[in-house]
Structure 1
Amino acid sequence: MTESTILSTWARQVVRLGPACALDTADGPVGYADLAARVAGYEARLTTGGSPAPPVLLMSADPVEVIAAMLGCMAAGRTFAPVSVATPAAVLAGILDALRPGTAVVDAAHVDVLRDVLHDVRHAATAAAPVETLCPQDVVSGDASADRWADATVADHGYVCFTSGTTGRPKGIRGSLRAVRHFVDWERAEFGVGTGTRVSQLTSPGFDAFLRDAFVPLCAGGTVCVPPGATPPVGDGLARWLAAARVEIAHCVPTVFRTLRAARDVADRLPALRAVLLAGEPLHAADVAWWRGSFGDRAALVNLYGPSETTMTKFFRRTTADDAHARPVPVGRPLPGVSFRVLGAGGIGEIEIETPFPLPGYLGDEPGGFDADGRRFRTGDLGRVRADGELEVLGRRDGLVKVNGVRVELGEVEGALRLHEDVRDVVAAAVEHEEGTVLAAYHVGDAAEADLRAHARRLLTPAAVPTVFVPMAEIPRTLNGKADRRRLPRPGAGPVSGSAPRDGLERDIMAIWAELLGLAAIGRDDDFVRLGGDSLATARLLDRLRTRHGVEIPLRTFLSAPTVAGLAATVTALRATVAVGSVSAGNEAAAPGEPAGRTPSEGAAESAPSGSEPVPAVVAAGEGGR
């Protein structure tokens, strides 16, 4: 019997369901048959006579086109590598040099950026074999070949996802679609994902968790629910979208999940929600305590763990009441067919994972933690086994940290900052605070913060740009000369501008900023973005103001004056508008075609700015690996 693949399993659902909703998007539903027609169009454009065909770079902001292109690559026998459209040019150049794609599926809005980077790279492979750029709008939908795909035997050419590397260049992790199917089959069975099940898609295509969000529902005959906007909704906005989309199974990073705590009556508003699966960064006991206080046993909160090198999740735990007091919250037991060891004396050591399928390793056969047989991987994470046999993850044994669900090499951050001519010494550190992890850069030299932040943005992915820059007279060192991160001061010793708040509203906004950004003090004239506010932090801020002050602030209005003073003025003006609108609605009839009491701010809310990942994205929106 031929082994099922992601492509064949999905194709059987196309044959069975036809026009049923495969993806629910802001632009309307996309049926299984409609998606199959797009896949046929990509297959026709991506099929080549050469063997092996070069990889395909996917760089689109539209999840529908990304999923269709992925399936088209599977049908055409091509390896695919999705990246975020917000990838900085310097990082994209490293990806192109490592991947050496033959084709790039790229949005029309980003094709010139890609071509400029390709021109600048000028490596030998590009000169010998130019990269074909293919815009989704130029792909003509074809006749669905679902019956043929359902029975086809297609070699697993896999995929590549990129993460930061210790050399400052992107590291390509080769993934197996067979391993993706192993996870998909497990989640479908474990959580009863079937025909019509509605599953969230809150992950950027640049992270391998996007494959989970897409193919768990599509291989089960369910629906992928795609939120509007460039970044995931947060806070009350996330609660509203989950309710409106009738999401039953939600996937996200804990950083995004925590924003739900700002929403009122969240359990009552989400009657369809039956499980939230969290991965990408540690789950805290306080998260479990809040969840159980709101949902009790009605909906499962699941802690997941697994590095990208072994393909997404390899451990899971349905959290219990005991986890509300656990330090740390366990990641549980391995998936079927997966085993693990903790290497080290005294009960604590490095976690090694063994999978039931071969692990392809890194692009270009870069050395790493893989064994000679290609089935075991040393994660670099420290852990221990509890008395009940479940695994606890205790942190990293190297300089790799997770910031808003995204893997960041501290050495890469430090290396990029050292390239600035006015930096004499620097050390990067991940600092924990209530809202999550803040990436801080402690630097010695004469570099101005604005210049250093701009420099970092040119060379690093959004998640790797420090939130806080702390000037130091010198970096504290251990006796052997290494940076002593334990002696680094807490970031945020004082505001940038030093200007004090003028009233209670400004003090309240400053307090919100300090909490979101992990800073000890804020000035009324400080710029939110210059202080490190990324797209998810911006979304959190606007959501917090909505719930606390009852105003809906359009994104472009905030970005026109992203200071405490400017924001306070906006809040005051919107409050006055709402008050006038309420009086007018009570005294005058609404104009023809307009609802009474509508204010200029209603319907004007926009998504968080693009250009930042999970975030916090978060992150990016985002997840990625551990």
Structure 2
Amino acid sequence: MSHTTILRHWADHVEKEPDAVALATPSGDWTRRRLAAHAAGVRARLADGEGPVLVACAEPAPVIAAILACAATGRTFAPVDTRQPAARWAAVVEDLRPTAVVADRAGRAALAGLRGTYEGTIRFIDAEDARYAEDAECAESTLDTGGAQGPEDAGDTPGAGAAGGAGSGAWRAADRGASGTPDAGYVYFTSGTTGRPKGIRGSLEAVEHFLDWETTEFGIGPGTRVSLLTSPGFDAFLRDTLLPLRAGGSVHAPAPGAVPVGASLAAWLDEQRIEVLHCVPTVFRTLRAAGLTAGSLPALRTVLLAGEPVRPSDVAWWHGLFGDGKTLVNLYGPSETTMTKVYRRLGAEDASAGTVPAGTPMPGVEVRVLAAGQPVTGAIGEIEIHTPFPLRGYLDGRPGGFTGPRSYRTGDLGRLREDGSLEVLGRRDQQIKVNGVRVELGEVEEVLRRHLGVRDVCAAAVAEDGADPALCAYVVADAAVTDEDLRAHATAGLHPGSHPSLYVRLPAIPRTLNGKADRRALPPPSAVRAATADDAPRDGAEAEIAALWCELLHLSAVGRRDSFTLLGGDSLAIARLLDRLRSRFGVDVPLRVFADDPTVAGLAAAVTGGSGR
């Protein structure tokens, strides 16, 4: 197992079938030839430098090209979500100390405010440089002649000459995977307890261990079509992109920042003929409203769920539709140990289980449950994972849960069954998962406390009536502080995945005898937030839409003039709402119409043509 295996496999597929689609996006398809040329162009610009490379791109193609280029030149890469707030950008740049930045238009705009802090010390590489088209032409001529260009032929074309030839010539199997290329790995930033992002260091050797397992376990091979629903700022992006490229398949992505849900997701899976779907259970669950039948999604054969607990009802619904015809898999593993380390093929027995097991370890992985520091079976304790490759820890060097060069205590509580299956039962600290995104409750609280009008705050994940958990901020604040003020403040200081969905006002935060916040004593949001009678939705469309809002936002009641976004509707919730409106009323409500009047009354007018029937 070597980190260069990924590049060798990719190079083989580029040479064998250069015109096959490597990446399909709404803005156009990228052949292997074109993607290899783009990666070679970035590689040429990185070849004469050293140090970490920050990758700030919204589109997937330049991110993939930068990852391949960094892997080939022995440079650490750190992809980020371009939608993160300015404060988080500043912390990432300060902690990573990149010597180069690869950015597209969105990344350049996001970094514009920081230019003065790094000007002259960081090399800026334009991910959309038009000259990459010349690299593609070089790649074509290289393929036609079957060899890489020599220096005398390279001219001034970016990506040629010193880089070993542009395009696919730079990705010939004989040229890739040299033993002297170091595994500089990657850094991904996640939430931190102090309100500052925490950099997790990983290796491509660890990624290769995972890719080799999934390729073998689920028969990923040439032509396999794999979904990409993950932001570049999460390490699962490596799984969703490198898995098909390594195996000779293709990556399929929707528009950036617009994960399809419900009927839209089903239509996209059908249109793209997706065979392997990776997603979080929250997104998977939206397919239940898509009206699927036993004959739906004929191309789909495997669904792998990670990031959140899978419910028995999820398994019962899927197995009831497709039986064993479409494999449903539960995955578990923290970013610190590189994606999945435990898996389970879910069957009929899991549909009636009290808890759906996370499963058994991948080859070479050992999982233990520790109680009072000792391994136990059948009892609840903290989950510890041992890997067959070295772990690289956090960027700041703090030990955290790393207890050895190959071991990590996850902070998750679990139980090992007698048959060796692992059950994951929750957290022992203040970390939660919402929509598959890791959220540190302490970070949310720390940011909100910085608002001058907030006197106390407690963040919690709240699930009412079996709904998906929602991130709720219970605040003690001055009367003049509005929810809109708090949302703007949170947006400026928190990653999009860490924004509270609900703000609940309390006269005081309940506390235990030792002064700690007593989360068990926090009232349900539905008991605190209720619409006033004079603002109640009218009968007909308004009442139906209000009921839908309550379901999506975990509220007991809403007013007809309440704003969906101010009540906590994020991009995923908005997509689910528009999808449900389409199914219920047979009307497509454009996003711009929703944005103009995101209220119950406004949407009722939109779906009824203004009649408010």
Whether TM-score is above 0.5 comes out as: yes
Determine which of 562, 587, 595 is the counterpart of 1:559: 595
Using the TM superposition, give the Cα deviation of residue 103 of structure 1 relative to its aligned residue in structure 2, in angstroms: 1.2
SS at match of 2:558: coil
Is residue 350–residue 383 contact of structure 1 (8 Å, CA) maintained in 2?
yes
Amino acid at match of 1:150: R
Could you tell me which residue of structure 2 aligns to residue 317 of structure 1?
344
Could you tell me which residue of structure 2 aligns to residue 585 of structure 1?
none
Amino acid at match of 1:565: A
Assess, with a 3 A threshold, how the Cα gap between structure 1 residues 473 and 151 changes in structure 2: closer, same or farther. closer
Using the TM superposition, give the Cα deviation of residue 387 of structure 1 relative to its aligned residue in structure 2, in angstroms: 2.0
Could you tell me which residue of structure 1 aligns to residue 103 of structure 2?
106
Pair 1:305-2:329 in alignment: no
C-alpha distance in structure 1 between counterparts of 2:606 and 2:532, whole Å: 20
C-alpha distance in structure 1 between counterparts of 2:322 and 2:119, whole Å: 58
Correspondences of 1:145-184 after superposition (within 5 Å) = 145-147=170-172, 148-153=174-179, 154-184=181-211
Is residue 9–residue 150 contact of structure 1 (8 Å, CA) maintained in 2?
no
Could you tell me which residue of structure 2 aligns to residue 402 of structure 1?
433
Using the TM superposition, give the Cα deviation of residue 117 of structure 1 relative to its aligned residue in structure 2, in angstroms: 2.4
Deviations 1:460-491 (A, max 9, x none): 11111111101001111111111111111111
Assess, with a 3 A threshold, how the Cα gap between structure 1 residues 133 and 21 changes in structure 2: closer, same or farther. closer
Amino acid at match of 1:380: G
Is residue 58–residue 107 contact of structure 2 (8 Å, CA) maintained in 1?
no
SS at match of 1:507: helix
Higher deviation after alignment, 228-237 or 291-300: 228-237
Correspondences of 1:42-191 after superposition (within 5 Å) = 42-49=42-49, 53-119=50-116, 122=117, 126=118, 129-138=121-130, 140=132, 141=135, 142-144=166-168, 145-147=170-172, 148-153=174-179, 154-191=181-218
Could you tell me which residue of structure 1 aligns to residue 29 of structure 2?
29
C-alpha distance in structure 2 between counterparts of 1:138 and 1:309, whole Å: 37
Could you tell me which residue of structure 1 aligns to residue 529 of structure 2?
494
Determine which of 285, 305, 323 is the counterpart of 2:312: 285
Could you tell me which residue of structure 2 aligns to residue 199 of structure 1?
226
Could you tell me which residue of structure 1 aligns to residue 509 of structure 2?
475
Assess, with a 3 A threshold, how the Cα gap between structure 1 residues 562 and 526 changes in structure 2: closer, same or farther. same
Deviations 1:248-290 (A, max 9, x none): 1100001110000001125422011111000011111111111
Could you tell me which residue of structure 1 aligns to residue 401 of structure 2?
369
Is residue 93–residue 118 contact of structure 1 (8 Å, CA) maintained in 2?
no
Could you tell me which residue of structure 2 aligns to residue 544 of structure 1?
580
Pair 1:448-2:482 in alignment: yes
Amino acid at match of 2:452: E
Q: Percent identity?
A: 57
SS at match of 1:436: coil
Correspondences of 1:321-470 after superposition (within 5 Å) = 321-344=348-371, 347-372=379-404, 374-433=405-464, 434-446=466-478, 447-470=481-504
Correspondences of 1:231-270 after superposition (within 5 Å) = 231-270=258-297
Deviations 1:54-109 (A, max 9, x none): 21111111111111111011112211111111111111111111111111111124
Assess, with a 3 A threshold, how the Cα gap between structure 1 residues 3 and 471 changes in structure 2: closer, same or farther. closer
Structure with higher RCO (Cα < 8 A, 6+ apart)? 1
Using the TM superposition, give the Cα deviation of residue 3 of structure 1 relative to its aligned residue in structure 2, in angstroms: 7.1
C-alpha distance in structure 1 between counterparts of 2:573 and 2:187, whole Å: 29
Is residue 495–residue 526 contact of structure 1 (8 Å, CA) maintained in 2?
no
C-alpha distance in structure 1 between counterparts of 2:611 and 2:257, whole Å: 28
Deviations 1:193-245 (A, max 9, x none): 00101111111110000000001111010111112353210000000000111
Amino acid at match of 1:72: A
Assess, with a 3 A threshold, how the Cα gap between structure 1 residues 515 and 3 changes in structure 2: closer, same or farther. closer
C-alpha distance in structure 2 between counterparts of 1:168 and 1:296, whole Å: 45
Using the TM superposition, give the Cα deviation of residue 35 of structure 1 relative to its aligned residue in structure 2, in angstroms: 1.2
SS at match of 2:324: coil
Is residue 105–residue 136 contact of structure 1 (8 Å, CA) maintained in 2?
no
Deviations 1:546-597 (A, max 9, x none): 1111111111111111000000000011899xxxxxxxxxxxxxxxxxxxxx
Pair 1:523-2:559 in alignment: yes
C-alpha distance in structure 2 between counterparts of 1:383 and 1:309, whole Å: 18
C-alpha distance in structure 1 between counterparts of 2:611 and 2:5, whole Å: 56
Is residue 45–residue 139 contact of structure 1 (8 Å, CA) maintained in 2?
no
Using the TM superposition, give the Cα deviation of residue 191 of structure 1 relative to its aligned residue in structure 2, in angstroms: 0.4
Consecutive unaligned residues of structure 2, counting only runs of 5 or more, are 136-165
Using the TM superposition, give the Cα deviation of residue 442 of structure 1 relative to its aligned residue in structure 2, in angstroms: 0.6
SS at match of 2:415: strand
Is residue 103–residue 124 contact of structure 2 (8 Å, CA) maintained in 1?
no
SS at match of 2:349: helix
Using the TM superposition, give the Cα deviation of residue 519 of structure 1 relative to its aligned residue in structure 2, in angstroms: 1.0
Could you tell me which residue of structure 1 aligns to residue 19 of structure 2?
19
C-alpha distance in structure 1 between counterparts of 2:272 and 2:467, whole Å: 26
Amino acid at match of 1:412: E
Assess, with a 3 A threshold, how the Cα gap between structure 1 residues 384 and 186 changes in structure 2: closer, same or farther. same
Higher deviation after alignment, 15-24 or 83-92: 15-24
Deviations 1:593-619 (A, max 9, x none): xxxxxxxxxxxxxxxxxxxxxxxxxxx
C-alpha distance in structure 2 between counterparts of 1:209 and 1:3, whole Å: 17
Give the aligned length: 567
Higher deviation after alignment, 192-201 or 31-40: 31-40
C-alpha distance in structure 2 between counterparts of 1:267 and 1:199, whole Å: 21
Give me the TM-score of the superposition, normalised by structure 2. 0.90
C-alpha distance in structure 2 between counterparts of 1:561 and 1:163, whole Å: 34
Using the TM superposition, give the Cα deviation of residue 504 of structure 1 relative to its aligned residue in structure 2, in angstroms: 1.6
Correspondences of 1:564-575 after superposition (within 5 Å) = 564-573=600-609
Give me the TM-score of the superposition, normalised by structure 1. 0.88
Assess, with a 3 A threshold, how the Cα gap between structure 1 residues 113 and 549 changes in structure 2: closer, same or farther. same
C-alpha distance in structure 1 between counterparts of 2:316 and 2:223, whole Å: 31
Could you tell me which residue of structure 2 aligns to residue 580 of structure 1?
none
Using the TM superposition, give the Cα deviation of residue 15 of structure 1 relative to its aligned residue in structure 2, in angstroms: 1.6
C-alpha distance in structure 1 between counterparts of 2:266 and 2:381, whole Å: 39
C-alpha distance in structure 2 between counterparts of 1:3 and 1:72, whole Å: 13
C-alpha distance in structure 2 between counterparts of 1:109 and 1:424, whole Å: 36
Is residue 61–residue 84 contact of structure 1 (8 Å, CA) maintained in 2?
yes
Using the TM superposition, give the Cα deviation of residue 327 of structure 1 relative to its aligned residue in structure 2, in angstroms: 2.5
C-alpha distance in structure 2 between counterparts of 1:572 and 1:411, whole Å: 44
Using the TM superposition, give the Cα deviation of residue 21 of structure 1 relative to its aligned residue in structure 2, in angstroms: 1.5
Using the TM superposition, give the Cα deviation of residue 129 of structure 1 relative to its aligned residue in structure 2, in angstroms: 2.1
Consecutive unaligned residues of structure 1, counting only runs of 5 or more, are 577-626
SS at match of 1:137: coil
Assess, with a 3 A threshold, how the Cα gap between structure 1 residues 165 and 149 changes in structure 2: closer, same or farther. farther
Deviations 1:341-373 (A, max 9, x none): 11105711110000000001110212311124x
Is residue 381–residue 413 contact of structure 2 (8 Å, CA) maintained in 1?
yes
SS at match of 1:269: coil
C-alpha distance in structure 1 between counterparts of 2:40 and 2:76, whole Å: 17
Using the TM superposition, give the Cα deviation of residue 4 of structure 1 relative to its aligned residue in structure 2, in angstroms: 4.4
C-alpha distance in structure 1 between counterparts of 2:17 and 2:294, whole Å: 32
SS at match of 1:34: helix
C-alpha distance in structure 2 between counterparts of 1:28 and 1:424, whole Å: 50
Could you tell me which residue of structure 2 aligns to residue 597 of structure 1?
none
- RMSD of aligned Cα (Å): 1.8
Is residue 262–residue 287 contact of structure 2 (8 Å, CA) maintained in 1?
yes
Amino acid at match of 1:90: A
Amino acid at match of 1:437: P
Higher deviation after alignment, 140-149 or 313-322: 140-149
C-alpha distance in structure 2 between counterparts of 1:3 and 1:521, whole Å: 53
Using the TM superposition, give the Cα deviation of residue 543 of structure 1 relative to its aligned residue in structure 2, in angstroms: 0.3
